[in-house]
Structure 1
Amino acid sequence: MKQLLTLGLLLIMFSCGKEKVLQLPEISHSEITEIYDVSPAYLFYDETQKDSVELNRKNLISTTNWLVNVDKRLTLKQAIPHIKYLQNKKQNSSHKKKSAKNYFTCNDTSRKNLGFIEFTDVVFESDFKNETLPDLKADSYFGLVEFNSFEKIEMTVIYGEHMETLNLNFDDLLSYIRESKALTLKLSFNSNISFQDYISVKSKILSIDSVSLQLFNHELIFN
């Protein structure tokens, strides 16, 4: 198999000679730029398929780091079930290695090269009624962020017995996070948003340099 990165595209040439193009999500900066000992998986956007998504995972080795290449045009509703399938496959493998991680592959526009976002320990949930919340310290803030679009974000902030709901756009949310102290965030996303928007949100929040910010590893994908 051969692959080529060009302007945010992965050109995949399979042994049968069939070519497929995958559009990687774009980010402006990535802290992770090199990963070794890897196996790739691909989630293609395919307009000819009923659900517009196709998973290719033929070359995955459970003892390696997995690079999951997701087409940015897919919605979370389309992509997340396949991503959860890959997580479970690796987790349940009898040959898995603790040091082997899972990463989303992105196009880092600032470097004009690949960048990566780790999601090894992310738990994707799908039910408001059974969602998991972190154990909070008495002097810490908890923010439950409900993301529908960059202009429509609802954030419920809990501090002790006090609770308030804020309606924000994305820039306001980032400013709130930067100015907060002892803040734990749980992110939730509308399942109809694109994988590109999901990656944009994650990369921007992960890039905030704050020792007081903690991202809860459970994420809710809601309808």
Structure 2
Amino acid sequence: MKQYIVLLISLLFFSCGSDKIIQLPEISQSEITEIFDVSPAYLFYDVTQKDSVDLNRKNLIVTTNWLVNVDKRLSLKQAIPHIKFIQEKKRSSSHKNEAAKNYFTCHDTSIKNLGFVEFTNVVYHERSLPDFFTKNAKLASQKSIIEVHFDTNKNIAIQQQDLLLKTTDKANFITDLNEVTIENATVYLSFNSALSFQDYIYYKHQLFKSKQKLKVSENEFIY
């Protein structure tokens, strides 16, 4: 079986057997730094073609842990449809291994090696969070729901139903979120599709690292 070591080449940002380059998203102090029994997929950014995305999934093995290497320069609008596509391929396979997980591969700057962010159970919705709640009124009425809308890095809105609790920014959103989040609340994340994959991974990783260990919904929204 393919082992974690074969993915070390990703740290150099090269794809296997071609001249294409991937710039991995950067994180620091990852909780996951070693994964075994893996197979890779690649999402390339093409500087010469606007909105061009090249997915290479030919090395994926459905029974393994998947390491998805996404170029940090891609926007969520570019990357998420392809990520959803490969997720569905694995979920619908009759040969899938229920214990196998999915991870985004990152460059952990604190150890100058690879780090990983798991997304196995994330369900991506290419729609707005308000639209989702409109069609799920019973869920929307719960007072234990906190919404975080990442519009830009300088404009992040934290809401409870229609009540704006706080407007914050990239540097302060974890502190502000912890201050306003009520006990046993579930946090729903909503991202502007124009945000880069680097931005997305930064926010996800900060939530994972939060000392408060916030309960974050597996449903994520890209608008």
Please indicate the TM-score interval, normalised by the length of the shorter structure. 0.7 to 0.9
Quote the offset at 1:107 in angstroms. Answer: 0.3
Normalized per residue, which structure has more helix?
Answer: 2
Q: How does 1:155-166 map to 2 (within 5 A)?
A: 155-158=158-161, 163-166=163-166
Alignment deviations for residues 58-97 of structure 1 (CA, whole Å, 9 cap, x no partner): 1110000000000000000000000000000001111101
1:12 maps to what in 2? 15
Name the CA shift for 1:194/1:154 in 2 (closer, same or farther; >3 Å): same
Aligned-pair CA distance for 1:190: 0.3
1:183 — aligned with what?
185
Say whether 1:203 aligns with 2:190: no
Cα offset, 1:3, TM superposition = 6.3
In the superposition, the TM-score normalised over structure 2's length comes to: 0.86
Change over 3 Å in CA distance of 1:3–1:205 after alignment to 2: closer
1:149 to 2:163 alignment: no
Cα pair distance change 1:3/1:122, threshold 3 Å? closer
Number of equivalences: 212
* C-alpha spacing 1:11/1:4, structure 2 compared with 1 (3 Å): farther
Contact (CA 8 Å) 1:10, 1:23: kept in 2 or not?
A: yes
Q: Secondary structure at the match of 2:172?
A: helix
Contact 2:157/2:164 (8 A) holds in 1: no
Amino acid at match of 1:79: A
SS in structure 2 at match of 1:148: strand
For structure 2, which runs of at least 5 residues remain unmatched after alignment? 1-5
2:3 alignment partner in structure 1: none
Provide closer, same or farther for how the CA distance between residues 171 and 50 of structure 1 changes in structure 2, counting only shifts above 3 A: closer
SS in 2 for 1:144: strand
Task: Say if 1:9 and 1:24, in contact at 8 Å, map to a contact too.
Answer: no
Superposed, which structure 2 residues align to 1:91-106 within 5 Å? 91-106=91-106
Greater strand share, structure number: 1
| Kept after mapping to 1: 8 A contact 2:67/2:105 | yes
Q: Kindly provide the CA deviation profile for residues 5-27 of structure 1, in whole angstroms up to 9, marking residues without a partner as x.
A: 48x5421232xxx3211000000
TM (norm. structure 1) is: 0.86
Structure 2 counterpart of 1:98, one-letter code: E
- TM alignment of 1:113-152, pairs within 5 A: 113-128=113-128, 129-130=131-132, 141-152=144-155
Report percent identity of matched pairs.
50
Secondary structure at the aligned position of 2:110 is classed as coil
Instruction: Verify the 8 A CA contact 2:22 2:70 in the aligned structure 1.
Output: yes
SS of aligned partner of 1:146: strand
C-alpha distance in structure 1 between counterparts of 2:45 and 2:164, whole Å: 39
Deviates more, 1:73-82 or 1:202-211: 202-211
- Per the alignment, do residues 49 and 94 of structure 1 end up closer, same or farther by CA in structure 2, a change over 3 Å counting? farther
The 5 Å alignment of 1:168-179 reads 168-179=168-179
Whether the 8 Å CA contact 2:168–2:176 is kept in 1: the answer is no
Q: Secondary structure at the match of 2:167?
A: strand
1:79/1:28 CA distance change after superposition, 3 Å? same
